[in-house]
Amino acid sequence: MKIEVAKTAGFCFGVDRAVEMVSKLLQEGRRVYTLGPIIHNPQLVRKLEMQGCGIVDTPEEVPSGGTVVIRSHGVPAAVFEEIRTRGLDCVDATCPFVAKLHRIAWEESRKGRILLIAGDENHPEVRGICGHVLPIAGEIRGWFVFKNAEELGVLLANHPEWGQKSISVVAQTTFNVSEWKKCLQNIKKVCTNAATFDTICNATALRQTEAVELAKRADQMIVIGGHHSSNTAKLRDVCAAFCKTDLVETADELPVEALRTAHFVGVTAGASTPADIIKEVLVTMAEIIEDTIQNPAETGDPNFEEMLEESLKSLNTDERVHGVVVGVSPTEVYVDVGRKQAGFIPAAELSNDPSAKPEDLVKVGDEMDLLIMRTNDQEGTIMLSKKRLDAIHGWEVIAAAEESKEVLTGTVTEVIKGGLIVVTEGIRVFVPASQATASRNDPLEDLLHQEVKLRIIEVNRQRRRAVGSIRSVLRDERKALAEKFWETVEEGKEYTGVVKSLTSYGAFVDLGGIDGMIHISELSWSRIKHPSEVVNVGDTVTVYVKGFDREKEKISLGYRRMEDNPWEILKRDYPVGTVCDATVVGMTTFGAFARILPGIDGLIHISQIADRRIEKPQDVLKVGETVKVKITDIDFDKKRVSLSIRALLEDAGEEAEATDAE
């Protein structure tokens, strides 16, 4: 077994500084009280307690003459004020990175900007940040917390007005780096006036990056740290995406059986993990290895090549044979291999896809190369395997594909915890969830039983482990489509796309490799309050290019059609003199507005409402009423239409007089 310890494992600068400050105060004989545990490590906290360090929840609990220590997580401004009011001796051990966050929160809210915080709302660091946000006039509160990109999406959807407001965005110092990048992408799409601050601690980012690289090479990760530590939990989560990962607080919690069968174990530790606990865990792991070596029977399964070699030794022959399928049943495939024995392939030896049915894979008359697994002369049978021969060839293809970055085609056979299983070239390839789809929000279940393209990014033939990426292929395909788009794009050209997202100011459409935006004013000839009144996410729409900027990769799209322009319809179908029905939609002192067509309201001047003098339009008309009107004038330049009811009454009167005269 190989063990590799991350270089950045253990105390970070902020935690080390806080612990050092408490230890120094205790050495000076001071009566020390920390506001909450100084770090998320119960073993070290107990050690400090034995040296005389007390833990309090509020400044009120600190006795006279005691020194209160603000831990590295920091506290709200109100707590500092309470400490000052009570006249307590205070030592501020707030991590400099967290203190910077407090300054940003205060300064941005002072400017009237709403603060969005990426992190755990219940974490003391986040509560401290919120406690430095100043009240903003006209707002229920000046801050909102989201724990991931999904929660941020919901938050943005619930507050469409933020698209035009001043928003500032920060992250908890221990926030997941990759998740933060996704959050920033969402923010940029919706909030054009957002100011973002990179507040994730450099040590946190480096620790997570190093842990991921280690997890990619290991088959077992051990993360050492407190079960209630935020940064340790994030380390566990980022590692678990690539290999089996266990979080242990002490050596007693080590997964002994898993370590005995592991080949490469990576070790990292949270920012609150003391060096002596890391050492204890490593010493215990060394003892497990030594015990395993002395008891080889407990080492678990041999590697793939050894298993294959051992299985071949148990056969009468390791010949490869060529056979023709002569029969297919639900459990076996019968093959003629040109010998007196009857050849058969068990369903489990036909394919690496456990859900595949023999009748779906082969048919009578198919020819294939097979590996003899066992010969039974008494029964006159030969057990054959296609899967194992495919695997031998498949590993060669897989290994070559990793080096060449060749794109392979496979079928998704399983959706498992953390990703997918794709069978390609007879080999089961693990595709982590982070590498399975174009977007993290896309459901993995939709890919089950689908044919996909992927690249091999890691091969460990001894452990029969191959890791692939579907996302890298999708990214390249999208890039190629984008390049083709820019080569052929021109104003006025039509495209069919899918609505990807909505904001308060428009709709973003995926044109296949690149996104364009339909401004809200281009969605309808009628005035609308939100794009969702016209389109929804997932809709297929036909759009045309209104304008584009190749350097900035921005595309402005049009959706409404000229033939649907109500003014064009009015010009064609409603010339001056036309009599039509109109709905009263508004009243003024000088007349009433009536809707002729959706998007066009005409004015019935007060003098044209009746054939007599009236004081106000409401004397004759009411909103919502449908009346007959005559179009008396149209000014297409100023977009004005004049209507008259009186003209119709006068026309009717003249007709009546003419009839009487006859």
Q: Give binding residues as ranges.
A: 12, 40, 73, 95, 123, 173, 201, 229-231, 272
Q: Give the DSSP letter string of 263-322.
A: SEEEEEE-TT--HHHHHHHHHHHHHHHHHHHH-GGGS-S--HHHHHHHHHHTSS---EEE
Annotation: binding site for dimethylallyl diphosphate: 40, 73, 123, 229-231, 272
β-pairing, 381-385 with 367-376? antiparallel
Which among 4, 49, 125, 458 is annotated as catalytic? 125
Mark residue 553 as left, alpha or beta (left: phi above 0; alpha: psi -120 to 50; beta: remaining).
Answer: left
Residues 205 and 213: their CA atoms lie apart, in Å, by 12
- The CA-atom distances, in angstroms, between 586 and each of 163, 614, 629 are 31, 17, 15
* Single-letter amino acid code for the residue at 117: I
Cα separation, 550 vs 528, in Å, equals 30
Closest Cα to residue 153, out of 628, 503, 620? 503
DSSP β-bridge partners for residue 5? 267
The tokens describing 543, both together, are: 């759009």
Known active-site residue 125:
yes
Partnered with residue 494 across adjacent β-strands are 544
Counting other chains too, the contacts that 145-149 makes at CB distance below 8 Å and 24 or more residues apart are 145/116, 145/117, 145/118, 145/119, 145/120, 145/121, 146/116, 146/117, 146/118, 146/183, 147/118, 147/119, 147/120, 147/121, 148/176, 148/179, 148/183, 149/179, 149/182, 149/183, 149/186, 149/440, 149/441
Give every strand in the sheet of 143-146, ordered side by side. Answer: 143-146, 114-118, 167-171, 195-196
Strand order in the sheet with 244-248: 2-5, 264-269, 220-224, 244-248
Q: What are phi and psi of 578, to 5 degrees?
A: -70, 140
> Which residues does the annotation place in the binding site for isopentenyl diphosphate?
40, 73, 123, 229-231, 272
Q: What are phi and psi of 354, to 5 degrees?
A: -65, -20
Query: What's the rounded Cα separation, in Å, for the pair 215 and 264?
Result: 10
Strand partners, 385: 371
Q: What is the C-alpha separation between 243 and 604, in angstroms, rounded?
A: 75
Q: Determine how β-strand 626-635 pairs with β-strand 579-588.
A: antiparallel
* CA 560 to chain centroid: 32
Is the distance from CB of 509 to CB of 516 less than 8 angstroms?
Answer: yes
Rounded CA-CA distance 271/226 in Å is 10
Q: So which residues are the catalytic ones? A: 125
